[in-house]
Structure 1
Amino acid sequence: MEKSNKQRRVVYPFAALAGQEELQLGLLLHAVNPCLGGILIRGEKGTAKSTAVRGLAEMLPDMLAVADCPYHCEPGNKGKACDDCRNRGENLPARVMPVPVVDIPVSATEDRVVGSLDFEQAIKAGHRAFLPGLMGEANRGIIYIDEINLLDDHIVDVLLDAAGSGINVVEREGISVTHPAEFILVGTMNPEEGDLRPQLLDRFALCVDVQGLLDRQARVEIIKRREAFEDNPGEFIAAWQAKQAELREKVMTARTLLPTVTLADELYTKISQLCAESFAAGHRADIILVRAALALAAWRSHPAVTEEDILDIAPLVLAHRRRQPPEESETPQQQEQEQPEPPDDQNEESPPDEQDKDKQPPPPPPEGEQEEEQEENKDQDQDKDNNSEANPAMEVVFSIGKPFTVKRISMDKDRQARRGSGRRSRTKTDSSVGRYVKSTSHRERDDLAIDATIRAAAPFQRSRKTNGMAVVIETGDIREKVREKRIGNFMLFVVDASGSMGAKQRMIETKGAILSLLQDAYQKRDKVGMVAFKGEQAEVLLPPTNSVELAQKCLVEMPVGGKTPLAAGLVKAREVIRQQLKRSPHMRPIVVILSDGKANVAMAKDKPLAEAHRVADNLREEFNIKYIVVDTEQKGLLSFGKAQELAVWLGGECYTIEQLKVDSLVDLVRGALA
């Protein structure tokens, strides 16, 4: 038996960490059961996240591995061995080695993570062979990903699949390989830089939110320990050696005890109740909570899981799965009670719900032309009550409604090669920057795909005259890289700020939705802009910018009042789009129009609504972009569908204000640039 002679780095002792008990517990439970499913650590920088991960690996006892196996298979354990070790017999050479810790950078390619073709074997022997990737190197160890939210989603998917199953299946380039990949997956992230999409977030077994300590004495203790470690690492490590050994022994004991721990039937009911009360989607939370409770009981040397074990570990299992219950959503009536009342003229137009209850129910809707005539008369009455362009004091500034958590807005892959930066839309790029996804024999630039070129040439090396060359490559073998990257989008909000938006305080809800999308745009590095139309004209409230702070300030200060110059708003949007595409032709615009689709002011002598539809038709013909119309009209017995008509003229889609409240607008934006 040989011993690994690889030099080990000096690592801060795991037992010496202070003030991060939940983080330590989450990592230790994965040491007890590596198949638990991974742990996500969310928090600000400088909170000992990476120190804890490396300290855990250093604390764990050295492991016995097959000496010449790239996957560090355990001798004698055929059930979890690779194909090569399984077929080589019983007495395999062994070595003692530390638990491997593999860092995966955010720039890692899929080939490097899962494995790829072994070029050396392809060239020398003329046949395909598999070269293990980082997941193979991390078998029986730890994979650590800092800023995992910045890693490509498809790579995170592959890692989570392997972390849950314990194996890595590779089917690519004519290679079919299955090898053990049993590792502890640890991901860290700063939520301010954006979140993982819910599908990936849910697949982490545990989640720990860490933050800096506020207690003065605790902070002083952290400083003193760190200074002592840096002044004399050897002495500091020796001082904590007993604590380290105690934790190591406890982990080994818990591993032995884990298969014997039991869970009573009534506690299964308790687990399901906790998950249901947290409104966790699906059943993964229940399954993970069972596993985590068993691991915690083993850690505490309990022969059976107790209710206390379940309650103690539940916050780590449910922290990233808990959703807001529907009954806690704030109703429009509650929002109106919290907002200041509009001026008397608007109260006459749209009295509060309490006043509506005392009035007679509205008459049934008229038929045919009488319906249009009544709607025109209604608009005229509103104009009289809201002629704010004549009297600026009549304008009202509504507060912003309660924002909601925006669902992930992921655009379909763009086939056009674009340039730019951002984190939303995945697109092909004609630059040498981006993720290498495949190769092509179609040559346009000097971005040589060396691996694909060698693969194409490798099978023919024996038949070619080498003339002393290691590899003979012909013109037909040359391949270029096809790259993908993520870019930002330009999201232009065209907002109806006329007096009718003050009715029933619709602007409060509309502002809340815009604010939610602005927050998501910040995380995805989008550009945003805002056009508002009211009175006799439209104006650009916010030129295209990456500053969400400016956008929020603009949203807060936006007044409501006056007539509805819809055509002017669309014309102004066209100007903004033209200018932005001239400056940044790589951007992918999407226009979100928030209006009831009505118009009562024209720019020329045409009828207002007909003019708006003509401008909308011109927009559809001029720009190949996506339009979304959010109908802000209060639905009831009198609903005229003007917003739907506007969407038809634009060639876009229309959603109601009710759907906007349940995030359906975001679902629409998700596929907006297909």
Structure 2
Amino acid sequence: MSAYPLSAVAHQPQLLLALSLVAACPDLGGVLIRGDKGSAKSTAARGLAALLPAGGPFVNLPLGATEDRVVGTLDLDAALKGEAKLKPGLMAQANGGLLYIDEVNLLPEHLVDVLLDAAAMGVVRVQRDSLSAETPARFALIGSMNPEEGGLRPQFLDRFGLCVDVLAPREAEKRVEIIRRRMAFEADPVGFSARWVNGENELRERLSHASARWQAVGVPEEVLTGISNLVLEHGVSSLRADLVLHRAARVHAALEGRHVAGWADVEAVAPLVLNHRATRPPPPPQPPSPPQPPESSLPPESSPPEPPEAPQDTPDASAEEVFAPEAAAPLTLRSTATGRQPLGEQPGRVTRTVPDPKAERLHLPATLRGALGRGAGKAGAETGLNFQLTREDFQAPVQELHSGRRVLFVADASGSVGVSGRMGALKGAILEVLAGGGGRDRAALITFRGTGAELLLDWTTDRQAAEEAVRGAVTGGRTPLAHALELAGRILRNQTHAELVLFTDGRANVPLTPGSDAWTDALAQAQVLKRYPCTVVNTESGHVRLNRAAGLAGALGATLQELRLAPV
């Protein structure tokens, strides 16, 4: 069956724009399509392949593909002759076309990194000991994913030039139109495609012209300055965002047939460039002040009533403050207490090999290739092949080291913790755990206060960055415990060897949805997290206690500890 025409995809203008941009300029770094199942992600990607300016191939990368299958391997038959020749992998096969990865969020991270590197450089390199080879691999990279099945880490998200969120239409008439077109295509693919041939030709011509002309599109200085200001307003520190936004605006102008990119081009592509990178939304415009009644209409010697005060945890709970860490008694985490996730370094996949004449373990393929590379294998007239292997050819494997654990800290930063004087000890306890990791552990930090939860620090082994995030955490406001547990579930969804450390007094008072019960919501979210090893650290203090932290620990299947200051 032929591919569904891209121009026939209805009611997805942002998706069509993102695909057009990356087709005209693969150097944008590819596009990530996020959306529910059945929202035309793969249909649109396949339709794009038929319109690529070079008419290149469409290569689908399966989830189970090995690194050699993706990257390629050295041809050993050629190596026997002393030649460095590459057996092309999927990336090389996609040269001049489109490489599509469905469910890219489920792909091993090292493969995602390799794919993004190749897409950015336009070449794939394979090096095995003394032999190396490379081949062109300039392709448009399209990744799709369902966010409900887990996300991509921010460093990988940033590597995708563009990102578009697609949803199925909510209006009945639009859904009917989509279904009618799909049914017509399935009944008669050839006839349906023939009816859209004019639209396909027009789109193909636009892409071809934009591909040839976008580099000649100019950008005025004031637009360039506006691009950087816009990126900063969204809280993006990576310069890649400025570069991609600048390039995408030029490509958009070329698609529209203009020779100079204006601010309208920037606004058209900015959501695709910034939405997956932004750490905060741009400041909203201030609403106009409501009209005041004339003074004569107010009763004599009267004034408008004071607005009601916002609810607070305690009289001073709404005040924001940054508390300094204080020394806290050491915690015993589940990973160290039960042996469930040992801290020792565990060998992983072989990342490289090194020459080692005294090696006790050999990487046999690398050893043989090394011997062939120095000419140890020579054809003989009678024997066919004379092969001599010496200790100088020995190659030892170097394996990646998996850290012993991943710890997600979820810290109550509400006003009640600050008023009780426990926030300093909370920070001290987290810093104590970080200090004991030996630099091998990965940590992440969620804080919750006010009306929601925030991922203050994504997974990192950078101890300094983790400590800065902990020390700078702001305290004040209400206690959205259910929101924090819901966010923790999303962060932990695709993590292995991860544990949860939750600091809270359990006094939830912000429900997930208006009208629901905050404590009930928190217990429901705790049930979802029950499969992860968890430690609940009770931050409650005073003579009158609700012991909500103990109830929460029971729902989580967690061990319960008390937050205490270190003895002087």
What TM bracket, shorter-length normalisation? 0.5 to 0.7
Matched-pair contact (CA < 8 Å) for 1:136–1:179: yes
Inter-partner Cα distance in structure 1 for 2:110 and 2:497: 22
Shift of 1:168: 3.2
Q: Distance in 1 between matches of 2:410 and 2:200?
A: 61
Q: Give the letter aligned to residue 44 of structure 1.
A: D
1:118 to 75, 85, 89: 75
The 8 Å contact of residues 428 and 482 in structure 1, kept in 2 or not, is answered as no
Equivalent residues in 2 for 1:430-579, closer than 5 Å: 437=351, 451-452=365-366, 455=369, 458=372, 460-462=376-378, 503-504=419-420, 511=481, 516-525=487-496, 548-550=528-530
How far residue 29 of structure 1 moved from its aligned partner, in angstroms, is 1.2
- Which residue in 2 is equivalent to 1:286? 242
1:155 aligned partner, one-letter code: L
Alignment partner of 1:298 out of 254, 260, 269: 254
Question: Does residue 162 of structure 1 match 2:129?
Answer: no
Structure-2 residue corresponding to 1:100: 57
Contact (CA 8 Å) 2:26, 2:138: kept in 1 or not?
yes
2:175 is aligned with 1:219 = yes
- Correspondence 1:599-618 to 2 at 5 A: none
SS at match of 1:303: coil
Q: Is the 8 A contact 1:419 1:487 kept in 2?
A: no
> What is residue 192 of structure 2 aligned with on the other side?
236
Query: SS of the counterpart of 1:59?
Result: coil
Could you tell me how far apart the structure 1 residues matched to 2:382 and 2:487 are? 63
Judging changes above 3 Å, is the alpha-carbon distance between structure 1 residues 321 and 107 closer, same or farther for their aligned structure 2 residues?
Answer: same
In structure 2, what is the equivalent of residue 201 of structure 1? 157
Stretch moving more, 450-459 or 247-256: 450-459
The alpha-carbon distance between structure 1 residues 174 and 130, as it changes in their structure 2 partners (threshold 3 A), is farther
- Which stretch shows the higher mean deviation, 165-174 or 217-226? 165-174
Aligned: 1:33 with 2:25: yes
Amino acid at match of 2:378: R
CA RMSD of aligned residues (A): 4.9
CA shift for structure 1 position 483: 7.5
Q: Which residue is 2:46 aligned to?
A: 54
How far the C-alpha of 1:18 sits from its partner, in A, is: 1.3
Q: Distance in 2 between matches of 1:559 and 1:23?
A: 47
Secondary structure of 1:202's counterpart equals helix
- After TM superposition, give the deviation of residue 467 of structure 1 in Å: 6.6
> Aligned residue for 1:19?
11
Query: In proportion to residue count, which structure has more helix?
Result: 1
Q: 1:452 and 1:504, CA in 2 relative to 1: closer, same or farther beyond 3 A?
A: same
Q: CA 1:237 to 1:516, structure 2 compared with 1: closer, same or farther past 3 Å? A: closer
Q: For residues 425 and 17 of structure 1, what CA distance do their matches in structure 2 show? A: 52
- Cα 1:126–1:170 change in 2 (3 A) is closer
1:152 and 1:138 map into 2 onto residues whose CA distance is: 20
Task: Give TM-score, length-normalised by structure 1.
Answer: 0.53
Is the contact between residue 123 and residue 138 of structure 2 (CA under 8 Å) also seen in structure 1? yes
Instruction: Tell me if structure 1 keeps the 8 A contact 2:376–2:389.
Output: no
Displacement, 1:321? Answer: 1.4
Structure 1 residues 515 and 24 mapped into 2: Cα distance closer, same or farther (>3 Å)?
Answer: closer
Structure 2 equivalent of residue 597 of structure 1:
564
Give per-residue Cα distances to partners, 1:589-618, cap 9 Å, x unaligned.
xx99975424xxxxxxxxxxxxxxxxxxxx
Q: Is 1:135 the counterpart of 2:91 in the alignment?
A: yes
Contact 1:207 1:320 survives alignment (8 Å)? yes
Instruction: Tell me how far apart the structure 1 counterparts of residues 313 and 124 of structure 2 sit (CA, whole Å).
Output: 59
The structure with the largest alpha-carbon Rg is: 1
Q: What is the SS of the residue equivalent to 1:40?
A: strand
SS at match of 2:63: coil
Say which SS state the counterpart of residue 217 (structure 1) adopts: helix
1:263 aligns with one of 216, 219, 233: 219
Unaligned runs of 5+ in 2: 285-308, 320-334, 424-447, 450-478, 506-521
Between the aligned partners of 1:266 and 1:532, the Cα distance in structure 2 is 48
User: Is the CA contact (8 Å cut-off) linking 1:518 and 1:551 kept in structure 2?
Assistant: no
Contact 1:34 1:182 (8 Å CA) reproduced? yes
TM-score normalised to structure 2 length: 0.62
Q: Once the 2 structures are TM-superposed, how far is the Cα of residue 314 of structure 1 from its aligned partner?
A: 0.9
Query: Does the CA-based 8 Å contact 2:78-2:85 persist in structure 1?
Result: yes
CA change 1:505–1:526 in 2 (3 A) is: farther
Of residues 132, 142, 145, the one that matches 1:176 is: 132
Aligned-pair identity (%): 40
The one-letter code of the counterpart of 1:215 is: E
CA shift, 1:162, in A, is 2.6
C-alpha deviations, 1:281-328, integer Å up to 9, x for none? Answer: 132212111110110011011122122111111111111111127999
Q: 1:146 and 2:146 equivalent? A: no
Change (3 A) 1:439 1:52: same
Aligned amino acid, residue 548 of structure 1: V
**CA–CA distance in 1 between the matches of 2:6 and 2:26?**
18
Report the Cα distance in structure 1 between the residues aligned to 2:502 and 2:318, rounded to whole angstroms: 34
How far apart, CA to CA, are the structure 1 residues paired with 2:177 and 2:542? Answer: 63
Cα shift at 1:112: 2.9
* Aligned AA (1:59): L
How far is 1:28 from its partner?
0.8
Q: Tell me, in whole angstroms, the C-alpha distance in 2 between the residues paired with 1:203 and 1:560.
A: 43
The answer on whether the counterparts of 2:128 and 2:369 sit within 8 Å (CA) in structure 1 is no
Q: Which residue of 1 aligns with 2:453?
A: none
Letter in 2 for 1:255: S
Residue-by-residue CA offset, 1:98-145 (whole Å, 9 max, x unaligned): 41122223333333333321122124x255433333222222211112
